């Protein structure tokens, strides 16, 4: 596949991802009085990014997620909370996140898009629904030194090791035609804040 | 053919029995005096049996791989002779009975005496901000009553709150349970002793997130939690909070002692949800209510993180530690009635 066709494919899936996300968000907004708030911020590990780039893999946070860069800490992505309910310290519930995640293999021209991102407190994993499919796939697991607190209604989860889930690695490798992703691969750190709606 | 089938079934039975945690007496205090460097815990009654089993299996795991130097894991029961000297060189302390007492002992001593406190409750006001509650399993707190008694099969949260605040003191005042007509008999509501994590959790759950204050009608005698063998429970009007996981471990896991057993008590439903499934496991629908709780091992933050950290603590309790990742440990947790936590959730820390 040529570079042009890769760009077209990426653009197409990105638009589709945006459309799916917009539908999801508006549907949620209609069912809640006061929407839950918060965000999942992933601080990407520079070593992981270098290794990914060396293998032709790029990861892009799709709107309405936002990407950021800090000279000291590097790249980050922030996914806004759009719905759901969860008791993080009770380890149950589901938090819906806006935006999407695009993975592209520049060597093969293949791409994967995940929409309907969420954090499943039951499974303790960031999940996403592959474009054109309906079942969520566990993508990332917050492990390592993990702390859960709740103050004044704001629940906070921090993890100094955000690892690729076995299911996510298998799906991404298959979809992108690579063997780059492995279960337990360190991708960065995660900070999830969540204030329940009412 | 029959012989072959019989042999096959016999082989399967042996394999199954080997893969299953041995039933029988719940484990008790350490059988040896732990070394000074060993990891020693005290506290919760609810989790004492499973921690006893985990200790035995963790130490066997180390020995099995030829590790003779890593600190071993030991857990002292909530009840028994007192005072206790928890390990070599330790200060003699009053045996901590319950989560609160265990946490107090952790805070009042150093690692020379206590390394961790078993806790069946989450952090609460009064705990130190430096107490790290390390999650390892899920439980559900229900209530129990005499199987031949006057209590219904189900009570609502409103009923339980009314009973424990004494606005309902007679079974005939329970009028919101379909198919139940309570007899004219005085309810005898019991609570576990004051340091019990189950007690504090139950009072908070019944109060909708804010602990209720027990009324004067609540029995002043406080039985040891999860012990239906206490003679007060022969009373047909008695009820008491009860750990559903501990109940499953007792009744279906066979983990009992002469006192640590359900006796005539059976656990009942709350708000129409059964705490135990038909297959004798903790009901996920129940643990996803206000009556679900996480159980913890509490450590000092300075020994969990930073330059003063004791690596043995994370090797045992951390997200990649033995309890959270080893198949035998997971089987232990389930055999004692608890639900395992997902990777990453098990070993995560919460604190004030």
Tell me the chain A residues in contact with residue B138 when contact means C-beta distances shorter than 8 Å.
Answer: 91
Q: A89–B122: do the CB atoms touch at under 8 Å?
A: yes
pLDDT at A11 over 70: no
Q: Where are the beta strands (DSSP E) in chain B?
A: 24-25, 39-43, 73-75, 116-119, 131-146, 154-155, 188-189, 238-243, 255-256, 265-270, 292-300, 339-340, 349-350
Average pLDDT of B321-343? 97
Q: Which residue has the higher pLDDT, A51 or B26?
A: A51
The overall average pLDDT reported for chain B is 92
Which residues 309-338 in chain B show a CB within 8 A of chain A? 319-320
* Residue pairs spanning A and B at CB distance below 8 A: 57
Helix (H, G, I), strand (E, B), or coil: what is residue A170?
A: helix
Q: Are the C-beta atoms of B315 and B58 separated by less than 8 Å?
A: no
Report the topology of domain B118-352.
D-Maltodextrin-Binding Protein; domain 2 (3.40.190)
Nearest chain A residue to B139, by CA: A90
pLDDT of residue A19 exceeding 70, the answer is no
Residue of A nearest to B320 (CA): A144
In angstroms, what separates the C-alpha of A189 from chain B's closest C-alpha?
A: 13
Flag whether residue A74 sits within 8 Å of chain B, measured between CB atoms.
no
- Nearest-Cα residue of chain B relative to residue A94: B288
**Shortest Cα–Cα distance, A138 to chain B (Å):** 12
What is the rounded distance in angstroms from the CA atom of residue B265 to the CA atom of residue B276?
14
**Is 90 exceeded by the pLDDT of residue B20?**
no
Which is higher by pLDDT, B43 or B25?
B43
Q: Provide the CA A187 distance to its chain's centre, in angstroms.
A: 11
CB-CB under 8 Å, B341 with A159: no
Range B205-221 average pLDDT: 97
Q: What are the backbone angles phi and psi of residue A25, rounded to the nearest 5°?
A: -65, -45
Of A90, A93, A141, the CB nearest to B344: A141
Question: Residue B28: what pLDDT?
Answer: 83
Task: In whole angstroms, give the CA distance from residue A157 to residue A146.
Answer: 7
- Is pLDDT at B333 greater than 60 in this prediction? yes
B328 or B7: whose pLDDT is higher?
Answer: B328
Domain boundaries along the sequence of chain A: 3-195
């Amino acid at each position: 596949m040529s570079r042009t066709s890769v760009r077209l494919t990426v653009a197409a899936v990105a638009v589709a991802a945006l459309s799916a996300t917009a539908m999801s968000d508006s549907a949620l907004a209609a069912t809640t009085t006061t929407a839950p708030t918060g965000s999942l911020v992933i601080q990407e590990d520079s070593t992981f990014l270098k290794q990914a780039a060396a293998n032709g893999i790029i990861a892009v946070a799709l709107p309405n997620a936002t990407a950021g860069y800090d000279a000291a800490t590097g790249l980050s992505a922030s996914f806004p909370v759009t719905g759901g309910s969860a008791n993080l310290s009770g380890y149950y519930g589901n938090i819906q996140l806006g935006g999407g995640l695009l993975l592209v293999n520049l060597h093969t021209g293949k791409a994967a898009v995940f929409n309907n991102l969420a954090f499943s407190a039951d499974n303790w994993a960031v999940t996403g629904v592959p474009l054109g499919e309906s079942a969520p796939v566990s993508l990332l697991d917050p492990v390592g030194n993990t702390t859960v607190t709740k103050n004044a209604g704001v629940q906070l989860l921090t993890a100094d090791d955000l690892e690729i889930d076995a299911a996510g690695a298998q799906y991404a490798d298959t979809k992108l035609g690579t063997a780059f992703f492995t279960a337990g691969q360190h991708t960065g750190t995660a900070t999830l804040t969540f204030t329940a709606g009412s | 053919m029959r012989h072959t089938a019989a042999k096959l079934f016999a082989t399967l039975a042996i394999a199954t029995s080997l893969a299953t945690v041995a039933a029988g007496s719940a484990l008790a205090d350490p059988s040896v005096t732990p070394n000074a460097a060993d990891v020693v815990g005290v506290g919760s009654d609810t989790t004492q049996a499973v921690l006893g089993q985990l200790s035995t299996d963790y130490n066997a795991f180390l020995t099995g791989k030829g590790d003779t130097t890593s600190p071993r894991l030991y857990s002292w029961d909530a009840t028994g002779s007192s005072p206790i000297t928890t390990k070599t060189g330790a200060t003699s302390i009053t045996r901590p009975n319950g989560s609160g007492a265990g946490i107090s002992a952790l805070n009042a001593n150093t690692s020379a005496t206590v390394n961790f406190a078993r806790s069946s409750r989450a952090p609460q006001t009064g705990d130190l901000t430096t107490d790290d509650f390390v999650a390892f399993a899920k439980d559900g707190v229900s209530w129990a009553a005499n199987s031949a008694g006057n209590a219904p099969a189900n009570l609502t949260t409103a009923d339980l709150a009314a009973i424990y605040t004494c606005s309902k003191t007679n079974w005939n005042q329970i009028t919101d349970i379909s198919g139940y007509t309570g007899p004219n008999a005085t309810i005898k509501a019991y609570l576990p002793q004051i340091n019990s994590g189950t007690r504090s959790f139950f009072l908070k759950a019944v109060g909708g997130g804010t602990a209720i204050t027990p009324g004067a009608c609540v029995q002043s005698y406080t039985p040891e939690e999860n012990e239906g063998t206490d003679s007060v429970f022969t009373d047909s009007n008695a009820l008491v909070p009860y750990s559903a996981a501990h109940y499953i471990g007792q009744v279906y896991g066979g983990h009992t002692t002469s006192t640590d057993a359900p006796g005539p008590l059976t656990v009942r439903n709350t708000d129409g949800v059964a705490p135990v499934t038909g297959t004798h496991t903790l009901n996920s629908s129940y643990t996803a209510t206000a009556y679900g709780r996480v159980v913890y091992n509490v450590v000092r933050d300075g020994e969990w993180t930073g330059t003063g950290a004791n690596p043995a603590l994370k090797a045992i309790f951390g997200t990649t530690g033995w309890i959270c990742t080893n198949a035998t440990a997971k089987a232990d947790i389930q055999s004692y009635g608890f639900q395992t936590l997902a990777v990453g959730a098990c070993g995560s820390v919460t604190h004030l």
